[in-house]
Structure formats: C-alpha cells, structure tokens
Structure 1
Amino acid sequence: MKKLKKVLFVLLGLLLLTIIGVAIFLNSLKPDYGGKKTLPGISGEVTTYFDPYGIPHIYAKNEKDALKALGYVHAQDRLWQMELLRRVAKGRLAEVFGEDMVKTDKFFLSLGIDDHTKKTVSELDKDSEAIVLTQAYLDGINEFVKNGPTPIEFYLTGLEKEPFTIDDVYNAVGYMAFSFAMAHKTDPLLTSMRNKLGDDIIKDLAITSDTSTVWIKNYKGVKTDTLGTQITASVTAALENLPIPMLEGSNSWVLAPDKTKNGKVLFANDPHIGFAQPSVWYEAHISTPTYEKYGYHMAGIPFPLLGHDRNLAYGMTMFENDDIDFYYEETNPTDSTQYKTVEGWKNYEVVNKTIKVKDGKDVAFTYRKTHHGPILNNIADQITGDRPVAMSWIYTKPKNKVMHALHGISHAKNMEEFKSALPNIHAPGLNIMYGDAEGNVAWWASAQLYQMPDSLSTKFILDGASGKDEPLRYLDFSENPMAENPPWNYVYSANNQPDSISGMLYPGYYLPENRAKRIVQLLDAKNDWDKEAMSEMILDVTSPVNKEVINELIKLFDVTHLSGKQLVLLDSLKNWNGEYTLNSTSPVIYHRTLYQMVKNTMEDEMGPEMFKQFLSTHLFKRQIAWGAQMKEGEWWDNINTPNVVETREDIVMISFAQTWESLVKDFGDDPSQWTWDKVHTLEHQHPFGQVEWLRKYFNVGPFPIVGTREVINNLAFPYDETGFYKVNSGPSTRRIIDFSDIENSISILPTGQSGNPLSKHYKDQAEMYVNGEFRKMMMNKQEIEETAESVLIFY
C-alpha cells in the first residue's frame, strides 16, 4: 500500500510539473507589452505605450525608427495572420492546410499576383521614401520572427517561421485588390444564364443601372452552355475555404461644417469585410517630430489604409467597378498551341507551377495564358469543355504604384496633396473618403477605368478573337466620379451606383440602394449632427427598402386562405417599420418568406447549382426589390408544373405557407417565439476553430446580434434552406472622427487588437462590438501616458 501511495505521489508530482511546464510554455508565447528590448538599426530610443485595449502608441525620433517598432509590435500580435496573407498569392496555403487548399492555390497562382509582384519589385526605386519606410517595417517584423516567441499556430501546424520580404507586402495588396472584385462570380454566371434561358427572361434581371435608385452624385466644385456556371462554381469553391476574410462592401459619410452642431467636419467609416479571427485591422498610433497618424493597418502592410491625424481623416469603401473581363478564346483547329487574335495566330503562353502539400506529394500543374490573361479551364477540376475562357484583370496590367499611393495619402498634409496620390491606385477600385480640419469634404472613385465599345455589355463573356471587344481607351483620373465640397454639404458612399462618368454610366457590381437610401434619408433630415448622433446612425438597423418590399408582397396575400394566427402576424408585418432588433419577429418572417419566394421563382429555371451561385452575387441583392415589383414575366411560372401557370400571387402564397411550416417546425406554433435573436448570430472563426475541440479556444462567439443584410449596420449572411442566418461579414471597424474634438474620436474592433489567442486583447472588444459600444482613439500624449497598461521601450 505504501508503494502504491508513493507511485501515486510520484505520478501526481509529474502531472503537476507537466501542468506547470505547459503553463510556463504557453505564457512564454504571449505578446510582450512591457519592458525593454533591443531593436537593431534604430537611431534612438522608441517608446511604445499600450493602452487598455492593447493598441500601441509609438513615439520615436524619426519615422524610420517608428516603422521598425510598428513592424515588431504588429508581428507579435498578428504574425500568424501575416503568414497566411502572404501565402495566398504565392499559392502556399496547401503547404499549411493540406490537399483541401490545392484548388485555392492553383487559382491564386493563375491570377498572376505573385508574378506581377516580382516584376514590380524588380523595377522599384529602393531609395524612395515609401520603399525605405516599407523596408524599416519589414526589418521590425523580421526582428520578431528571429528573436520573438513563436505563435502557437506555428507549433500546431509544424510550420517554420521565415523572414518577410517586400514581395510579401505587394502580394498582400494584390490579394486585397482581388477580394474587392465581383466580376469573377458574376460574368461567367450571367453568360451561362443567358445561354440557357435566353435574352427574354434575362431582361427581367437587375443587370443594368436602374435610373430610379439612389446614385452617388458627382460634384467638382471649388471647395445551354454550362461553362459559365462551372467557372463561377470553381471560383466560389476556390475562395470558400480561404482562411482569411474577403472584403465585401462598406459605408462612409463625411459632413461639412454646415451640417454639424459644432461647425467642424464629422467623418464616419465602417468598411464591411468578412468576419474572421483575428479581425482585419491592426490599430496603431505613431508620433514623431515630423509625422503623426492614428491608423488602421492590414497584416504586413506598413501604411494605414484608414487613418486620421489632427489635420485630416480618410477612409474607404469598395467602388465595385468592373475591373475583370472574361474572353472566349479561339484555339487554332490545326495547332492547339495557338489562339486567334486580330494580328493572326499567337502561341499560348504555358506556365508551369508546383504546389507543396502538407503530408502529401507536390502537385505540379500547367495552365495557358493569352494576351488577355490566364485560361481558367485547366485550373480547377470543375471546369470542363473545349472553349477556352481567359480572365483579364486590370490589377496585373499597368505598373503597380499602389504602395506609393498608400504612402502618399498617409503623409498628405492637405486636400490637394492627398488627391495627388490617388491616381496611383489603379486597382482595387476604391471610394476614397476625405475630411479635414479646414472644413473640406470629398469623395473620389480611385481606379484605372477604361471605356469599352458602346453596345458592349461587360457583364457577359466577351469575344477574344475578333478584337471588337477590347478597351477603346483608358480614362484619366480627372474623369473618374468624384465630389469635392458639394453644395449639399456632405459626401457618402454605400457601394451604390455612381453618377455618370464622361457621359456614360460605368459598368460595375454596385450594391442595391438600401443603405444609400437610408443614409441620404437620415443625413438630409438634419443640420446639427454631432458625434453622439453619428454613433447612433452608424448602428442604424432600419431598412426602408425591406419595408417597401414587404408592403408590396402583402398586397398579394389572399387573406381567405389564412388562419387566425397568420392574420395576426400579417397585421404585424403591415406595421413593421423595417427595424431589426433582437426581439422582433417580422424580420424572421420577411427573410424566410423572401428566400422561399426567390427559390420558388428562379430555381426551376436556373437549376440548383446555378441558383446556388446566383445567391452568392451582388446581382441577387439587387434583384430583391426589383423582382418584388415585377408583376408579370416568365420567372413566376414554375416550369416543373406544366399543366399550371403560376402567377406572382401564387408564388407569394406558396412561399408564405412554406415559411410558416418551417417556423413551426423549428420553434413551435407560438409566433411570439420566432424572434431575430434565435436565427441571426455572429461567430468569429479562426482557421483552427473548424476543429470542434479547438473551437472554444480559437473562435469568438457566437453572439445573437441585431442588424441584417444591407442596413447601415450591415451584418450580412448567406441564404440557404436552413433559415438560420450565420453572419459572415459586416463592419470591420466603426470609426467616428470629430474635428471639433479630435482627441475624443471613437472606434471599435469586432473582437480585439491581438491575433494571439493567449493575449488578453484577443477578444476584449467582442461584446462591446455586439452591444454597439465604442472606445476612444487616444491621441493626447499625457492621457496616453497616464492610462497606459504597459510600456515597451526599444533601444
């Protein structure tokens, strides 16, 4: 018995030592927010104050030292995120996650981002300030890579840390540019739909510009071809497993002094990006004797994409311009190595790539290119058929000056300097929003736009052989949409249709007017805006368009076929103001009925796969209000019931009945229990959170959350048969900058500043975000020193 006790004590001691050892090991992997560290190459001491939310406030004698310190602290909180982001364009995700990522790697390699980066970097002026500062930032990252603790994700994957290079910075920008584009999902699908269904039925889709919707106004003042479906499915499949988020949309509005209570500019911006953990933005405040900026950084990019100082503020939304075109190519029938051009037959360029696969053999693949771009047919297994389709993307065409643009806008001291940097952004297409302490407000659409032949619709796959479907000219930046100090005293963007450009409506994948209509409605209603009113507006969850849609549909209900409970619910719907609160039932009825109505209207013609792809496009969002107003047309008839011709009224009643049945099944027969909080939830997913036992350690949430698709507080979700709406994108930050009180401007992140699961700042803002709360973006040095949670000194 004594021996058994000794053995048990020994085992208990070993277990205790193991637990202590694991705890010590895990503690060693946390970011180090305090103390002193050497940082080779800096010219003087750099002091970094970490505020209560882990945001660094970096004070240095010069900007190069500050950028080096930024690189270090950014890496210690976000190295894993940086690692994933730089791997996308290089086709190196399968090296981490295995064979499931091979198709994704193939797709991104074929885009040519990495090849374009190599060409760009080879031509860089290494002595330009933008590149010198970029290298300083990289030096800081690499110091952490070399001497800092290894994040836990590297241990779990067995991945070795590698130094970062300037190629990685440009590849991160290239990924951002592609994730803004929508043509890769839409053009091939529309071509396939037209070929399968015909022009008569396609005309009832919301493809072209709608003259009745809210447009962003310009002001230049003083102050059965299935190939298309296969391409769309292939691209969707390649993107759906990405371990980093896609960029989706955004809101921004900037109010001139005449619209504000304090007579100073008010600035709001909430970029809509796919939710993930960690969240996209890393906040940092830099201050030197010659430069200061409170900025929002993407992983591995030195200059903030969103930022402000005491003189000016800037942000962005997606322009949604069409910057990708697809072309049918014609292969020489007697020589498969050639394709047809107006100059004659040319040789396909053959590109060979190799993908390393974790726990598997290397995968070699080959694809062809034309002067338009890569041929997609051989890149993904889903694409079959002999008719080659090439993808032409503006990002890989002109010389890449995007990094110089980001340096320029982050260092501008006034509106003219700021504007002068924007022509360097050729892609992605961005709405750049601006306001300053002098009272200027502006919006510029920045992108390299081009004019196509008048009768040509770039929403369909074009003819690559004839030469008739090529760009006629590139537009000068001065021809882009913009508004500078307009007489209505504000500028805004909600990814909606801009006004005419050089006498034409520029093709794009603009989102429906829902958010724009609400923004204009609220801004026009008052001229005494302040920070508090702006913070309420940025959280607005009312959809006037959804209210209009439901009112249109209610007219079609045959009340003689409704039960007493259904009549009560219908009356509730009539009185719904379009607001999405947690305890409301009308949103649940609306969305389930809407999904069933769209499915019952369109899936029979499209087929299940095409319908699934359609739901993933902006075109679907535009179709909702448009389709509800469509009184007649071939879409309403169900082709699977040949002896019956369904009408709009029939489809509405069938859809409502299906909704009622599904809700009774899910929640019981008491409609008061069918509340929004039960179906609309947000969970921030880490790549490792897909493993169930790791989920609670890496994911954040889930939380019931207000809002919906296409309201100002745009908490969006995909539609499917379940009728449960798992939010997958929304405001990646909410920022409100008040030039009457610049040091008390406010913001919030969706989860936290750190991407390290062991950091206390991994999710310390998550509940604040869900609750619609804000925190201060501190710029007052005395306040920063007095409230600092810790101080890290580099020497």
Structure 2
Amino acid sequence: MKKLKKVLLVLISTLCLVVIGLLIFINSLKPDYNGKKTLSGIQTEVNVFYDAYGIPHIYANNKEDAFQSLGYVHAQDRLWQMELLRRIAKGGLSEVFGKDLVGTDKFFLSLGIDDYTTETVSNLDMESEMVTLSNAYLDGINQFIAEGPTPVEFYLTGLEKEPFSIEDVYNTMGYMAFSFAMAHKTDPLLTNLRNQLGDEYVNELAIESDTSTLWIKNFKKTVSDSLKTNITANVTSVMEKLPVPKFVGSNSWVLSPEKTKNGKVIFANDPHIEFAQPSVWYEAHVITPEYEKYGYHLAGVPFPILAHDRNLAFGLTMFENDDIDFYFEETHPSDSTKYKTESGWKNYEYVTKNIKVKDGETTIFKYKKTRHGPVLNNIADQIKGETPISMSWIYTQVDNEIMKGLYGMCTAKDIDEFKKALPKIHAPGLNIMYGDAKGNVAWWATAKLYQMPDSVSTKFVLNGASGEEERLDYLDFSENPSAINPPWNYVYSANNQPDSISGMVYPGYYLPENRAVRIVELLSSKDDWDLESTSKMTLDITSPINPKMVSELIKLLDITPLSNDQLVQLDALKNWDGTYTLESTSALLYHRCEYYVLKNTFEDEMGTEQFNQFLATHLFKRHIAFGTRKEKGIWWDNITTKDKVETRDEIALKSFADAWKSLVADFGPDPSEWTWDKAHTLEHPHPIGQVESLRKFFNVGPYPVEGTQEVINNMSFKYDSTGLYRVSSGPSTRRIIDFSDVENSISILPTGQSGNPLSKYYKDQAELFVNGEFRKMMMNKEEIEETAASLLVFKPSKE
C-alpha cells in the first residue's frame, strides 16, 4: 500500500511538473509588451508605448531606429502572417500545408511575381532612404526571429523560422497586386459562354457600364473574330485555397471644409477585404523629430498603405480597372516549341520550378511563356482545352516602383509632393483618397492604363496570333480619372465606374452603383458633417436599390394562389425600406428570392459549374438590377422545358415559391422566425482553425451581423445552395480623421491588433467592431504616456 502511495505521489508530482512546464512554455510564446530589450543596430534608445488596444506608439530620435523598432514589434505580433504572405508569390504554401496547395503554388509561380521581384531588387539604389528604411525594418523583424519566442503556428506546422529580405517585401506587394484582379474570374467565363451560347446571350449581360447608373465624376482644373475553344477557368478555386485574405472592394469619402460643421476636412475610409484572423492591418504610430505617421501596415511591408498625421491623411479603395488580358495562342502545326505572331513564328520560353511539399516529395513542373505571359493550360487545371491561353498582366511588364510610391506618399508634406508619388503605383489599380489640414480634398485613380484598338473588348479572350488585338500605347498619368477640390465639395469612391476622360471610358470590373448612390444621397443632404455623423454613416445598412427592384418584381406576381402568410410577407417586402437589421425578415426573404431568380434565370444555360463561377464575379452583382429591369430577354426562358418559353413574370413567381419553400425547410413554417441574424453571420478564420479541434482557439466568432453586400456597411457573402449568408468580406478597418480635432480621430479593427492567439490583443476589438463602436487613434504624447498599458524600451547594443 505504501509503495502504491509512493507511485501515485510520484505520478502526481510528475504530472504537476509537466503542467507547470507546459504553462511556462505557453506563457513564453506571448508577445512581450513591457520591459527593456537590446536592439542591435539602433543608435539611441527607443520608447514603445502600447495603448489599451496594443497599438505601439514608437518614439525614436531618427527614422532608421524607428523603422527597426517597428519591424521588431510588428514581427512579435504578426510573424506568422508575414510568413504566409511572403510565401505566396514564390510558391511556398505547399511546404506549410501539404499537397492540397500545390495547384495554388503552381499558379502563383507561373505569374512570375518572384522572378519580377528578383529583377526589380537587382536594380534598386541600395543607398536610397526608401531601401535604407526598408532594411532597417527587416533588421527588426530578423532580430525578433533570432531572439524572440516562436509563434505557436510554427510548432504546429513544423516550420522553421528564416530571415526576411527585401525580396520578401516586394513579393508581398506582388501578391497584393494580384489579389485585386477580377479578370481571371470573368474573361474566360464570358468567352466560354459566348462560344457555347452565342452573342445573343452574352450581349444581354451587364458587361459594359450602364451610362444611366451613377459614375464617379472627374474634375480637373485647367492650368494656363474571336477564336473558339471550350475553356473553363478554375482560378477561383485556386484563390479560395489561399490561407490569407484577398482584397475585394472599399468605401471612402473626403469632405471639404464647406461640408463640415467645424470648417475642416473630414476623411473616412473602410477598405473591404476578406475577413481572416489575424486581420489584415497592423496599426502603428511612428514618431521621430522629422517624421510622424499613424499608419496601417501590411505584414512584412515597412511603409503604411493607409495613414495620417496632423497635416494630411490618405487611404484607398480598389479602382477595379482591367489590367489582365487573356490571349489565345496558335502553336506551330509541326513544331510544338513555336507559336504564331504577326511577324512570324517565335519560340515558347520554358520555365522549370520546384515546389517543396510537406510530408511529400518535391514537385517539379514546367510551364511555357509567350510574349504575352504564362500559358495557363495544365497549370493546376485552371484552363481546360487544347488551345493555349496565355495571360498578360500589367504588373510584371513595366518597371516596379511601387515601394518608391508608398515611400513618397508617406514622406509627402503637402498635396503637391503627395501627387508626385502616385504615378509610381502601376498595379494594382487603386483609388487614392486624400485630405489635408489646409482644406484640400482629392481622389486619383492610380494605375498604368493603356489603350487598345477600337472595337476590341478586353472582357473576352483575345487573338494572340494576329497582332490586331495588342496594346497600342500606355496613357500618361495625367489622363487617369481624378478630382481635386471639386465644386461639389467632396470626393468619394465605392468601386463604381469613373467617368470618361478625353472621350474614353476605361474598361474594368466595376461594382454596381448601390453603395455609390447611398453615399452621394447622404453626402448631398447636409453641410454640417462632424465626427459623430460621419461615423454613423460608415455603419449605414440601407440599400437604396434593393427595395425599388423587389417592388417592381412584386408587381409581376399573381397573388391569387398565395397563402395569408405569403401575402403578409409580400406586403412587408413591398414596404421595406432596404434596411438590414438583425431582426429583419424582409432582408432574409429578399436574398432568398434574389438567389432563386439568378438560379432560375442562368443555371439552365450555364450549367452548375459555370453558374457558380458567375456568382464569384462582380458581373453578377452588376447584372441583378440591370437584368430584372428587362421585361423580355433570352435568359428568362428555361431551355430544359422544351414545350414552352418562360417569361420574366413566370421566373419571378417560381423564384418566390422556391425561396418560400427553402425558408420553411431551414427555419420552420412561422415567417416571424425568419430573421436576418439566423442566416447572416461573421467568423474570422485562421488557417489553423480549419482543424475542427482547434477552431475555437484560433478562429474568432461567429457573430450575427447587420448589413449586407453592397450597402455602405458592406458585409459581403457568397451565394450558394446552403441559403446561409456567411460573411466573407467587409470593412478591414473603419477610420475617420477629423482635421478640426485630429487627436480624437477614431478607428476600429475587425478582431484585434495581434495575430498571436496567446496575446490579450488577439480579439479584444471583435465585439466592438460587430457592434459598430470605435476607439481613439491617439496622437497626443502626454495622453499616450499617461494612459499607456505598458512600455517597451529598446536600448542600443554596447558593441
């Protein structure tokens, strides 16, 4: 008995030691926000005050010390995110997640981002301040890698930490440029539909911009025969496997002093990006005697992409211009190594790449390139068919000065210096929004725009052999859409179509006018905007388009066979104001009806696979209002019912019946239970959270959320057969800068500042975000010091 007690005592003691050791180990993985550390390479002491939400306020005596400190603190909160972002362009995801990501790695390697980065870096001026500060930032990251705790994700994946280089910065920016692109989802699909169904079907889609919809107005002051093949684009499925968020849209508006209560500019911006954990932006306030910016950083990028100081503020939305063109290529009939051009046969260029695969053998694959770019056939099965299809992407075809552009924006002292930096941003196409303390407001569309031959539509796969569908010339930046201090006293962007310049409308994948109509409606209604009213506007959940559209469709319904419950809900829908509250039943009924209208209109001709691809494009959003207004049209007929031709009225009635049946199946027969909160939810997914047992630890949410797609509070989702609207993208931050009281400007992040699940700042803003609350972006040094949650001091090495 005594022996048994001794054995039990030993076992209990051992277990206690293991638990204590495990707790000590877990605690050691947390970011360190307090105390003193030696940072090799800095010249003088740097103080990092962390506020109540974990945002660092970095006070340094020079910019190099400040950026090195920024690199360290950014890495200790976001190293895992940095690691994933830098791996995408160079095909490194399979090494982390295994064979399922091989197709994604092949696709991104074939884009040539990594090779383009190598060429760009080889031509950099290593003595320039842009490169010097970038390297200082990287030194900070690398010192954390060498000396700081290893994030838990590295242990779970078995991945070794490796130093970062300036190539990683450029590769991250290259991925960002492609994640904006919409052509890869749209052009092959439209070409396939035209080849299968004919021009009559394609001509009835909302491919080109409707001149009756709201376009962004420019304002400049004056100073003194297609090839046919069966192609199927699966790029969407490749992109969906990415373990990092993609950029999808945005809102921004900047109010002139004439529109504000206090007579100073108010700046608002909420870039729309896919939700993920950690969230995209890392906030940091960097202060030196000659430089200050409160900025929002991408993981691994030294210069903020959204930022403000006491003099100026800037942000962005997606321009949505077309910067990718696809080409059919013609291979020589007797020599498969050559392809046809207007000047004769040229040799394909062959590229070999290696992909490391976790728990598997290294994959070796080859692809070929033409003068246009990579041939996508047989690369992750993205293009099916015999005819080679190449992709021409503007990003890799001109000099890469994007980092110089970001540096110029961040160091600009006024609007003139700021504008000079913008032509350097050639891709992705961005709407750069600007406001300053002097009263200037401005919007510029930044992109390397080009002119195509007349009558050539870049929305379809082009003829690569004829030479008749090639770019004619690049346009000067002065031709880009813009508005500086317009007489209507505000600028805005909601990814909608910009107006023409010099008689030319730039092709693109613009989103419908819905958000733009609401923004203009609200901004035009008053001239006494302040911080509070602007913050309420960013949370607006009313659609000005959906109620009008549903009201027209209701008129088409034959109500005689409808039940009393159906008549009651139809009446509510008819009187609905388009507001998406959690308790709304009209919101849920509307979206079910809308889905079934789309399904009953398009799936019979497109087939299930292409219909789902259609739902992944901006084209379907643009078509909703455009298509339902058409009383007659070829798409209304269901081709599977050979003995009759369906009309719009019949499709509307059938869609209402299908929607009602699906809601009863999902939520029961009582319509009062069909509330928006049951179907519209937000969860922030972490890549490790895909493992069900780890989901609750790494993911944040789910939460029921107000809003919907294409309202100002844009909570977007994918339509599918589940009938659930799981929010996939939305505001990546909401930020409002009021130059009448810049130190009390406000913002919010979707989850938290830290990407480390053991940090107290991992999800501390999540409920604030869902509830539409804000927090202060502190800039006053005395207030920062007095209210700081902790102080981390970096001391220079004695060596």
The aligned counterpart of 1:286 is 286
Q: For residue 267 of structure 1, what is the aligned residue in structure 2?
A: 267
Paired position in structure 2 for 1:24 = 24
**In the TM superposition, what is the alpha-carbon distance from 1:8 to its structure 2 partner?**
2.3
Q: Aligned partners of 1:409, 1:773: CA distance in 2, in Å?
A: 29
TM-score, structure 1 normalization: 0.99
Residue of structure 1 in register with 2:643 after alignment: 643
Alpha-carbon distance, 1:17 to partner: 1.4
CA shift digits 1:748-769 (9 cap, x unpaired) = 0000000000000000000000
Residue of structure 2 equivalent to 1:527:
527
- The SS at the match of 1:219 is coil
Does the CA-based 8 Å contact 2:227-2:328 persist in structure 1?
A: no
Please give the alpha-carbon distance, in whole angstroms, between the structure 2 residues aligned to 1:492 and 1:222: 21
Residue ranges of structure 2 left out of the alignment (5+ in a row): none
Equivalence for 2:6: 6
CA separation in 1, counterparts of 2:431 and 2:36? 41
Q: CA deviation at 1:221?
A: 2.9
Helix, strand or coil for the counterpart of 2:206?
Answer: coil
**1:471 match:** 471
Pairwise mapping of residues 153-232 of structure 1 onto structure 2 (< 5 A)?
153-221=153-221, 229-230=231-232, 232=233
Q: TM-score, normalised by structure 2?
A: 0.98
Verify the 8 A CA contact 2:273 2:731 in the aligned structure 1.
yes
Corresponding residue of 2:450: 450
Alpha-carbon displacement from aligned partner over 1:705-732 (angstroms, at most 9, x marks no partner): 0000000000000000111000000000
1:556 aligns with 2:556: yes
Distance 2:650 2:12 in 1: 71
Which letter does structure 1 place at the counterpart of 2:386?
A: D
Report if the CA contact (8 A) 1:188-1:228 is conserved: no
1:353–1:364 CA contact under 8 A, matched in 2: yes
**Structure 1 runs (4+) greater than 4 angstroms displaced:** 222-229
Number of equivalences: 793
The alpha-carbon deviation at position 494 of structure 1 amounts to: 0.2
Q: Secondary structure at the match of 1:304?
A: coil
Residue 110 of structure 1 is matched in structure 2 by 110
Helix, strand or coil: the match of 1:191? helix
8 Å contact from structure 1 (residues 207, 619) kept in 2 = yes
CA distance in 1, matches of 2:768, 2:220: 40
Residue identity matched to 1:101: L
Residue 132 (structure 2) pairs with residue 132 (structure 1): yes
Letter in 2 for 1:681: T
Amino acid at match of 2:560: T
Q: Secondary structure at the match of 2:560?
A: helix
Partner SS for 2:207? coil
Q: Look up the match of 2:749.
A: 749
- Would you say the 8 A contact 1:257–1:439 is kept in 2? yes
CA contact (8 A) 2:677 2:706 kept: yes
Q: Quick check: 2:230–2:384 contact (8 Å CA) kept in 1?
A: no
Displacement of 1:457 after TM fit?
A: 0.5
Task: Check the 8 A contact 2:383/2:389 in 1, yes or no.
Answer: no
In structure 1, C-alpha distance between the alignment counterparts of 2:230 and 2:727, rounded to whole Å: 28
1:239 aligned counterpart, secondary structure: helix
| Counterpart position of 2:540 | 540
Deviations, residues 607-660 of structure 1 (Å, cap 9, x unaligned): 111101000000011011111101111111111110121111111111111111
Query: Distance between the aligned counterparts of 1:738 and 1:21, measured in 2?
Result: 50
Letter in 2 for 1:760: K
Could you say which residue in structure 2 is the equivalent of 1:573?
573
> Partners of 1:604 and 1:77 in 2: how far apart?
49
How do residues 483-502 of structure 1 correspond to structure 2 at under 5 angstroms? 483-502=483-502
- Structure 2 distance, partners of 1:263, 1:228, is 59
| Equivalence for 2:377 | 377
- Which residue number corresponds to residue 299 of structure 2? 299
In the TM superposition, what whole-angstrom CA distance separates every residue of 1:246-298 from its partner, at most 9, and x where no partner exists?
A: 00000000000000000000000000000000000000000100000000000
What is the CA–CA distance in structure 1 between the aligned matches of 2:553 and 2:732, rounded to whole Å?
A: 34
| Equivalent position of 1:723 in the other structure | 723
C-alpha distance in 2, partners of 1:452/1:739? 42
Using the alignment, how far apart are the partners of 2:229 and 2:746 within structure 1?
Answer: 48
- Distance in 2 (CA, whole Å) between partners of 1:83 and 1:102 is 17
Aligned to 1:764: 764
Match in the other structure for 1:609: 609
Contact preservation (8 Å) 1:680, 1:705: yes
The amino acid that maps onto 1:437 is A
- For residues 549 and 249 of structure 1, the distance between their equivalents in structure 2, rounded to whole angstroms, comes to 23
Secondary structure of residue in 1 paired with 2:434: strand
Output the amino acid matched with 2:314. Y
User: CA–CA distance in 1 between the matches of 2:762 and 2:25?
Assistant: 18
Deviations 1:558-581 (A, max 9, x none): 110110010001110011100000
Whole-angstrom distance in 2 between the partners of 1:33 and 1:222:
53
How far is the alpha carbon of 1:382 from its aligned partner?
A: 5.2
Q: Following TM superposition, by how much is the alpha carbon of 1:428 offset from its aligned partner in structure 2, in angstroms?
A: 0.5
1:225: how far off?
Answer: 9.4
Contact kept in structure 2, 1:736 and 1:747, CA below 8 Å = yes
| Closer/same/farther in 2, CA of residues 302 and 442 from structure 1, 3 Å limit | same
Amino acid at match of 2:453: P
Can you list the C-alpha shifts for 1:429-459, whole angstroms capped at 9, x where unaligned? 0000000000000000000000001111000
**Contact 1:222 1:484 (8 Å CA) reproduced:** no
Q: 1:101 and 2:101 equivalent?
A: yes
Distance 1:581 1:473 in 2: 49
Q: How does 1:30-49 map to 2 (within 5 A)?
A: 30-49=30-49
Partners in 2 of 1:296 and 1:227 — Cα distance? 45
Q: Would the aligned equivalents of 1:255 and 1:490 in 2 still touch at CA under 8 Å?
A: yes
Residue 679 of structure 1 corresponds to 679
The answer for the alignment partner of 2:417 in structure 1 is 417
Give the secondary-structure state (helix, strand or coil) at the position aligned to 1:332. Answer: coil
Q: Which amino acid aligns with 1:349?
A: E
- Could you tell which deviates more after superposition, 68-77 or 636-645? 636-645
1:693 matched to 2:693? The reply is: yes
Q: 1:667 to 1:229 in 2, by over 3 A?
A: farther
Give 1:502 deviation, angstroms. 2.4
Partner residue, 1:141? 141
Q: Name structure 1 gaps, 5 residues minimum.
A: none
Q: How far apart are 1:229 and its partner, in Å?
A: 4.7
Query: Displacement, 1:243?
Result: 0.4
State the SS of the aligned residue for 1:38: strand
Q: Deviations over 1:63-89 (max 9, x none)?
A: 110000000000000000000000000
Tell me by how many angstroms 1:679 deviates.
0.2
Name the counterpart of 1:368: 368
Q: 1:119 deviation in Å? A: 0.2
Query: 1-side partners of 2:142 and 2:556: how far apart?
Result: 64
Residue in 1 aligned with 2:481? 481
Secondary structure of the residue that 1:273 maps to in structure 2? strand
SS at match of 2:545: helix
Aligned-pair identity in percent equals 70
